[in-house]
A and B are shown apart, each in its own frame.
Chain A
Amino acid sequence: MSESELIAVLESEAGPKEKADACRELAVVGTKEAVPALAALLGDEKLSHMARYGLETIPDPAVDDALRGALGKLEGRPLVGAIASIGVRRDAKAAAPLAKLLRHSDADVAGAAARALGRIATPEAVEAVKEALEKAPEELRPAVADGCLGAAEALLAHDKRPEAAALYQLVSQADLPKHFRVAAAHGALSARQPAANP
């Protein structure tokens, strides 16, 4: 089917199987034109995932606008999923709304936000996970620490060694299981190495 035909399926009274199949195909052929129809399904308990399946790989900023815009309207699993997709796409503009979700009462939401911020790793995202690690309740601390470690790796990849070292220091000092201290120690060693020659 063409993209317009697939969009028409999403906007029709077709059943969940047909719409899921349309989402799957749009994951490969969809463009900006498909974003509104897919985004409209982000809050649908049955089709929310397939809506993201279609959206996540469309290389257009309209997807990021749609996912970001949905954050304030979703709850539960659809919200967790939208956050995860934002993390996959590394949407820098989502840092501020994701930072607010670090305090969400749903631990899955807060944890997903922490990991997504770790992937985004802008200065705003890094500050958010740092602050969250210092305040996180015990059940959330591993997810936030994982976000911090992800952010530190991203900083290292961009040769921002002092910033990465600060994150590793924070993780090593937090009340966390031993393997986090191992991770932080290894990361801190990497942060102290001189940059590789280009």
Chain B
Amino acid sequence: MSRGQPPSGARVSARREPFTIEVAGSSPVTRRQFLGRAAVAGGLVAAPCLVPGSALGRDGAVAPNERIVLGGIGIGGRGSGDLRWMMAEKDVQFVAVCDAKKAQREKVKQIVDERYGNTDCATYRDLREFLATREDIDAVLIATGDRWHALASVMAMRAGKDVYSEKPSCMTIAQGQAVVETANRYRRIYQTGTQRLSEAKFTFANELLRTGKLGEVHTVRAHIAPWDAAEMRHDWLPGEPEPPRDEVDWDQWLGPCPWRPYNAAYVRGGWRGHYDFHTSCIGEWGAHTFAQCHVAIGAAGTSPIAYEYVDNPTGDGMVTRFANGVKMILHRGDQWWHGSCGVRYEGTEGWVAIADGYAKPEVSSPALLDDFERVVREYVDRTGNAQSHVRNLFDCIKSRRPTVANPVVMHRSMTTVHAANICMWLKRDMKYDPVQEEFVDDPEANRLRSRAMRAPWTL
């Protein structure tokens, strides 16, 4: 499964253009303008012609032809939070949701319709129908649960959509490779839901490393979830009668995963802890914290080369090592933080720690916090990365620049998750070659880099 080098060459970088129609004898008009004029000409709009101010961009509203048209796939609890966050942006219009569960489709429709004061949000059960028929949708929010994130992203990008995929964004190293390959092939903008890469206090911690304020960084620590284990379940819950397909499309809910009898607990969130559906306690928070650590130490495009097995159920205390000499240690408990998704960076001249709930990072010396606002502001000026993960996505959809949590960032940090999991499952130390993307002298581990997908849900 060695990968060749991606093709070199200049990026095709162009500002996103609305679909234009050439009208003989006049300047090109946008699709939305054309439809508006046609409606007037066809007498579909009663005189006098009153056009809402929002259509003209008044009072801060963004004109429809400048809005990003958004759809959703598998929006549950976490996804609903993302949805509300996205709909708060003025240049976004959410128009449709696809979900295997009818109750969830209707719940999302209600959220969207209430936001916009209409009943326009469309609902779909069938993912392929949704992607094939909604050519108007520019981008999709994918929040299905680990098992579907990669394949849905690939399918959406093949259909010409940009993607925001919740994390953990892939179940295997091979799935991560497929997301990178597809995004590159179709020049799609993709963001994985590691939103702390767009939060000022985490950004500041990363900037401390980048600017050498901690000296030579030798150790980073990454929080893994304090629930579940690295070893996961292979049992089946007791089989129950499958609901009507329109209520719960069990076949589509399973998607690429091995078939098993239906049980309502799965679709209510009880899929966690099952090998077929979940990336373990390591993936649950490692999807976030490993991405933070990778980016902080300048290793966004690689993964650790060594993983030391620990004889406990969770991976707590596992030491991994990058080729640049930095150790990343996995921690489950609260000894290094007092919040969730913590990271800590240690150098020869100081340390910084940050987790959810902190007003600002904790540091070895108060002087390290000097100029907090200036440092963050300069980061934003230098990179163009807004300190809002969804704003960063939408800016990049318009500019076609890579997002802060782009496919490579996702794939390499998730490779670390998968390698750590494989280390725990096989109960031995591992060595990994991040250039060839394979375990060194370990055929058994290499066979766990991929899993055959269930037809017709294949890559």
Q: Which chain A residues have a beta carbon within 8 Å of chain B's beta carbons? A: 17, 20-21, 24, 27-29, 46, 48-50, 52-53, 55-57, 59, 77-78, 80-81, 84-85, 88, 108, 112, 115, 142, 146, 149-150, 153-154, 156-158, 177-180, 182-183, 185-187, 189-193, 196
User: Contacts of A112 on B, CB cut-off 8 Å?
Assistant: 455-456, 458
User: Contacts of B158 on A, CB cut-off 8 Å?
Assistant: 142, 146
B452 touches A177 (CB 8 A): no
A183 touches B186 (CB 8 A): yes
A133 to B9, CA, bound (A): 26
B452 touches A88 (CB 8 A): yes
A189 touches B450 (CB 8 A): no
B240 close to chain A: CB less than 8 A = no
A179 touches B186 (CB 8 A): yes
B185 touches A183 (CB 8 A): yes
B458 touches A186 (CB 8 A): no
A27 to B456, CA, bound (A): 20
9 examples of A-B residue contacts, CB within 8 angstroms: A57-B447, A59-B443, A59-B447, A77-B455, A85-B452, A146-B185, A157-B7, A180-B186, A187-B185
A20 touches B135 (CB 8 A): no
Closest 3 pairs (CB-CB, A-B): A157-B4, A190-B9, A81-B455
Question: In the complex, which of the residues B5, B9, B448 has the most CB atoms of chain A within 10 Å of its own CB atom?
Answer: B9
User: Contacts of B453 on A, CB cut-off 8 Å?
Assistant: 81, 84
Q: A57-B450, A157-B7 are in contact. Are A49 and B12 (CB under 8 A)?
A: no
Candidates B7, B186, B260, B458; contact of A81 at CB < 8 Å: B458
B9 touches A49 (CB 8 A): no
User: Contacts of B187 on A, CB cut-off 8 Å?
Assistant: 179, 182-183, 186
Tell me the residues in window 87-104 of chain B with beta carbons closer than 8 Å to chain A beta carbons: none
User: Contacts of B10 on A, CB cut-off 8 Å?
Assistant: 189, 193
Nearest opposing residue in chain B for A46, CB measure = B259
A48 to B181, CA, bound (A): 28
Candidates B185, B443, B444; contact of A149 at CB < 8 Å: B185
Candidates A27, A57, A142, A187; contact of B7 at CB < 8 Å: A187
Q: A182-B186, A189-B10, A189-B12 are in contact. Are A81 and B452 (CB under 8 A)?
A: yes
B78 to chain A, nearest CB (A): 28
Interface SS of A by simple majority: helix
User: Contacts of B456 on A, CB cut-off 8 Å?
Assistant: 77, 80, 108, 112
B7 touches A49 (CB 8 A): no
B146 to chain A, nearest CB (A): 18
A53 touches B452 (CB 8 A): yes
A80 to B456, CA, bound (A): 6
A179 to B159, CA, bound (A): 8
Nearest opposing residue in chain A for B158, CB measure = A146
B258 touches A179 (CB 8 A): no
A39 to B74, CA, bound (A): 34
User: Contacts of B58 on A, CB cut-off 8 Å?
Assistant: none
Tell me the residues in window 4-47 of chain B with beta carbons closer than 8 Å to chain A beta carbons: 4-5, 7-12, 19
User: Contacts of B459 on A, CB cut-off 8 Å?
Assistant: 84, 115
B454 close to chain A: CB less than 8 A = yes
B374 close to chain A: CB less than 8 A = no
B236 to chain A, nearest CB (A): 6
Further contacts, 10 of them, CB under 8 A, given A55-B452, A187-B7: A24-B258, A50-B258, A57-B452, A142-B158, A153-B7, A154-B4, A157-B7, A182-B187, A193-B7, A193-B8
A144 to chain B, nearest CB (A): 12
B251 to chain A, nearest CB (A): 10
Nearest opposing residue in chain A for B275, CB measure = A24
A20 to B234, CA, bound (A): 10
Nearest opposing residue in chain A for B11, CB measure = A186
B454 touches A24 (CB 8 A): no
B160 close to chain A: CB less than 8 A = yes
B338 to chain A, nearest CB (A): 40
Q: A53-B258, A149-B185, A193-B8 are in contact. Are A28 and B452 (CB under 8 A)?
A: no
User: Contacts of A52 on B, CB cut-off 8 Å?
Assistant: 452
User: Contacts of B260 on A, CB cut-off 8 Å?
Assistant: 17
A154 to B3, CA, bound (A): 10
Nearest opposing residue in chain B for A59, CB measure = B443
A29 touches B8 (CB 8 A): no
Candidates A24, A28, A80, A190; contact of B458 at CB < 8 Å: A80
A57 to B438, CA, bound (A): 14
User: Contacts of A178 on B, CB cut-off 8 Å?
Assistant: 19, 160
B262 to chain A, nearest CB (A): 14
B447 touches A196 (CB 8 A): no
B451 close to chain A: CB less than 8 A = yes
B259 touches A49 (CB 8 A): yes
A151 to B459, CA, bound (A): 15
A63 to chain B, nearest CB (A): 11
A48 to B328, CA, bound (A): 41
User: Contacts of A48 on B, CB cut-off 8 Å?
Assistant: 455
B133 to chain A, nearest CB (A): 12
Tell me the residues in window 184-209 of chain B with beta carbons closer than 8 Å to chain A beta carbons: 185-188
B455 touches A49 (CB 8 A): yes
User: Contacts of A28 on B, CB cut-off 8 Å?
Assistant: 444, 447-448
